[in-house]
Amino acid sequence: MQFEYADHRKALSQTIQTLGAIRILDYLLTLKEADPNRVGITGGSGGGSHTVLMTAIDERIKVSAPVVSVSSYMYGGCPCESGMPVFMCGGGTDNLELAAMAAPNPQLLVSDGGDWTDKMPEHDFPYLQKMYSWYGKKENVTNVHLPDEKHDFGINKRTAVYRFMAKNLNLNLAAIEKNGQIDESGITIEKMTDMYVFGDKGEKLPAHAVKGFANLEKVFAAAIK
């Protein structure tokens, strides 16, 4: 509503996206329903990359579950997740090393055989176990690998995340179980338009809202001086 779709593919998009997530977490933790000691994050694909990055930089996040994203040889096809400056740090890094920064907090990595997470069990996961073992918490990092599945956030992947979050955040898993299986029938997927709080075309945006990528660059440049 404030920017062109193509702006999503510019280098600054990851920085702004991450800052936005930090501010969203700031807001969520002001709600009376929120428990600041039980903050978890998950996401699939680019959302998984974002999960890794947020967990690495925000200590309020206690539990993380990046899905179909973490790999030592590939880190996304969009600047919003490939983070051109980020992956050049320290002579070069990758999402696997960033994922290790979650240690010793509980982390679940969900991988499959149909994308760049295919080498997780035999190559990438042992590295994470080694990093966690330095904290004496090797058991806190787990991997659910689905070799016959592809790049999505399907029911088997969601089930793994539900069970992981319930275990590590002390949640009542029975609330979404039926006969021992995850039952999503009571979950409502909201319409996208119901979440347009600033109007269908952004007509309710505040007068001072930043519009256009050029203006965003100016605001950001001034803020980091």
Instruction: Please say whether the beta carbons of 40 and 105 come within 8 A.
Output: no
Question: What span, in angstroms and rounded, lies between the C-alpha atoms of 206 and 100?
Answer: 40
pLDDT grade for 83, boundaries at 50, 70 and 90? low
The CATH-assigned architecture of domain 5-185 is 3-Layer(aba) Sandwich (3.40)
Q: Which value, in Å, is the radius of gyration of the alpha carbons in the chain?
A: 19
pLDDT grade for 85, boundaries at 50, 70 and 90? low
pLDDT, one tens digit per residue, over 138-154 is: 999 999 999 999 999 99
Instruction: Please say whether the beta carbons of 94 and 72 come within 8 A.
Output: yes
Q: Between vectors from CA 109 to CA 107 and to CA 139, what angle results, nearest 5°?
A: 45
pLDDT, one tens digit per residue, over 2-38 is: 889 898 888 788 888 889 999 999 999 999 999 999 9
